[in-house]
Structure 1
């Protein structure tokens, strides 16, 4: 699919990779509707980009946003499923000073699953359902997974969500084929975003040192993979790792 033919939703598009994807799509001539809970960030997007508050954890909000976006753009044939949060922590650990055993809170675990998996799944469902009802084809869904899906210390919830999203990329590609919708995933490694900038510095330095290409990635690196998924009509049900060779 040509980028200029896209009428695409980008979730989590107020900052970081999502904002970069939205700008690049807009520059390429696509119509773009961006949703995020960060309304201040939405206001900074370029003129011509449709934007509205979106909380993917709310079924009503997701459904209303899809209907609004399709109306604003005069149709809908794409989704960049990017919204995500982190609440890192070991599942079980012993405090070095007191010896007290501590566990990851239900609230932190559930918050990540609600956004990164349930919310992401909900957006795919609502976009695919809209396209099916409208007879809009072809269409493309790009799920943003992570190389952490292979397992990473201190990220039980994030790993679970991103692994499930990559696996369901295959599921949805098979389910949506009769609807004319392709589904691909892109799995970033260590990318320079507000999310990764908040990491513990020691952990960040160790992770960067393990990247074979010798640097942190930037959103443009990931955008090139997202663009490939949109443009390559023979790509479906697979995940592209953009990680500089980093293994977890």
Structure 2
């Protein structure tokens, strides 16, 4: 896919990886539909991509709500006369151990709400946005690309029952969609980042961040720009579909 003038939707575009990917695609001349819950954060991203001469609009939507997603994607397709790409980036963390026990007694457990809230955004949200993006691609006869954001945590990670389950599910949907949607000329891929340098990791205690850095063969954390570069590669490589790219500095080896 030639990114220039293609209409690409990015969920979770208000900051972090979403903003970095928006900036990368804006530099390539994409038309951007920026989706998130917070208007203030979205406005910052919009200002930055517009400064790069990008044609962009913002949309406030709850990706876990079917009605919100359906109306948002319909509006995007109407505003831009179709959709060519989607980056399913919106996600949340609500970490916690499955159970905590002390002296043989269970003192706490992960609540259903804590589990379900992450599944609702990270898995159901990806399903709803992917479905509606594919619907609009087929409706407008576009041979598009869907990129789902997974994580190296999909293999299982202590304290992340909910997050790991959601990210493993994202990979399963990626492969399934690649098989189902290929007949319509729609490619589907996933990116599984490791620990990426963000405001959250910058706020860590130096010794904790240093331990994370030493766990990686490359000796450092990743950057949002490196994830954005990977998204650009998936869009541009027309032979790529049904696969997951791990960008983790060798952490999962």
TM bin, normalised by shorter chain, reads over 0.9
CA distance in 1 between partners of 2:101 and 2:205 (Å): 19
Shift of 1:202: 6.1
Gap runs ≥5 in structure 1: none
User: What does residue range 92-103 of structure 1 map to in structure 2 within 5 Å?
Assistant: 92-95=99-102, 100-103=106-109
Whether 1:139 and 2:137 are equivalent positions in the alignment is no
- Conserved? CA contact 1:95–1:102, under 8 Å: no
Whether 1:107 and 2:113 are equivalent positions in the alignment is yes
CA distance in 2 between partners of 1:194 and 1:105 (Å): 27
Whether 1:224 and 2:215 are equivalent positions in the alignment is no
Equivalent residue, structure 2, for 1:70: 77
- Conserved? CA contact 1:32–1:73, under 8 Å: no
Instruction: Summarize the Cα distance change of 1:176–1:198 in structure 2 as closer, same or farther, 3 Å threshold.
Output: farther
1:153 aligned counterpart, secondary structure: coil
CA distance in 2 between partners of 1:218 and 1:247 (Å): 17
CA distance in 2 between partners of 1:209 and 1:219 (Å): 19
TM-score of the superposition, structure 2-length normalised? 0.91
2:191 aligned counterpart, secondary structure: strand
Equivalent residue, structure 2, for 1:82: 89
Single out whichever of 209-218 and 98-107 deviates more from structure 2.
98-107
Shift of 1:35: 0.5
Shift of 1:157: 0.6
The RMSD of aligned alpha carbons is 1.9
Instruction: Summarize the Cα distance change of 1:167–1:26 in structure 2 as closer, same or farther, 3 Å threshold.
Output: same
CA distance in 2 between partners of 1:28 and 1:222 (Å): 15
1:4 aligned counterpart, secondary structure: coil
Equivalent residue, structure 1, for 2:35: 35
Whether 1:153 and 2:137 are equivalent positions in the alignment is no
Shift of 1:101: 2.5
Gap runs ≥5 in structure 2: none
Equivalent residue, structure 1, for 2:17: 17
Aligned length: 246
Post-superposition Cα deviations, 1:128-167, rounded to whole Å, max 9, x if no partner, equal 111222222x100011110111111110111001111012
CA distance in 1 between partners of 2:124 and 2:202 (Å): 25
